[in-house]
């Protein structure tokens, strides 16, 4: 066997090995990106459910909560009042109109049945848990009042303390590159940073 054949065989084997390693590297990067996207989609769905729970809690109690026990108990046993509003316009003798409003309470409906019926796989016990992480991690939650335009307003922020995407960092300049969250400690919003 001459040197040319040996080099040809060696280069052929080397090129096949390098092609396989390159393919494996690219494929693993693609698979990791897909895994992160799947996990973040599940986390976003969970954050939307938590946001719905916080908005319902505020609608009934007038404020947000930063305690998981209170929020879970509210979702489990809390109720909305079903009301009917009737407005009657009465024309007064001197031509002006007066508005008479009557609000009747018709009954109640459970928060769980009202708000969470749109989530087919809703599990109350898993609501505070970040999906897909092992060991289990709870979402971090903060709620308080802040001054805005001379008034004290309620704000809430809920975030994932253990980001799946290694590029998501708390100290990032861009809100979209911070760990997944909704709400704010400085603004009156319940928008998520994925929106």
Reported pTM: 0.77
Residue 145 confidence (pLDDT): 92
Residues β-bridged to residue 133:
none
Q: Which residues of the chain have pLDDT under 50?
A: none
Closest among 139, 134, 131 to 179, alpha carbons compared: 139
Residues 47, 192 contacting (CB under 8 angstroms):
yes
Residue 1 confidence (pLDDT): 67
Residue 52 confidence (pLDDT): 92
Residue 121 confidence (pLDDT): 83
Residue 142 confidence (pLDDT): 93
HEC string of 41-97?
A: HHHHHHHHHHHHHHHHHHHHHCCCCCCHHHHHHHHHHCEEEEEEEEEEEEECCCCCE
Residue whose tokens read 């009747």: 104
**Residue-wise pLDDT tens digits, 168-182:** 777 777 777 788 889
Residue 93 confidence (pLDDT): 80
């Amino acid at each position: 066997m001459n040197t040319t054949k040996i080099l040809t065989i060696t280069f052929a084997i080397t090129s096949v090995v390098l092609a396989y390693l390159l393919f494996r590297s690219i494929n693993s990067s693609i698979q990791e990106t897909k895994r992160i996207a799947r996990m973040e989609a599940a986390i976003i769905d969970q954050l939307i459910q938590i946001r719905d729970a916080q908005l319902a809690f505020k609608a009934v109690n007038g404020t947000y909560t930063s305690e998981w026990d209170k929020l879970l108990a509210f979702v489990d046993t809390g109720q909305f009042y079903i009301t009917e509003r009737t407005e009657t316009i009465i024309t007064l003798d001197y031509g002006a109109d007066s508005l008479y409003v009557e609000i009747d309470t018709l009954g109640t409906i459970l928060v769980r049945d009202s708000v969470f019926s749109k989530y087919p796989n809703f599990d109350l016990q898993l609501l505070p848990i970040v999906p897909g992480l092992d060991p289990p991690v709870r979402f971090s939650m903060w709620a308080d009042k802040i001054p805005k335009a001379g008034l004290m307003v309620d704000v809430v922020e809920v975030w994932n303390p253990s980001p799946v995407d290694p590029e998501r960092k708390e100290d990032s300049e861009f809100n979209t590159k911070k760990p997944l969250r909704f709400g704010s400690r400085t603004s009156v919003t319940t928008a998520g940073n994925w929106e």
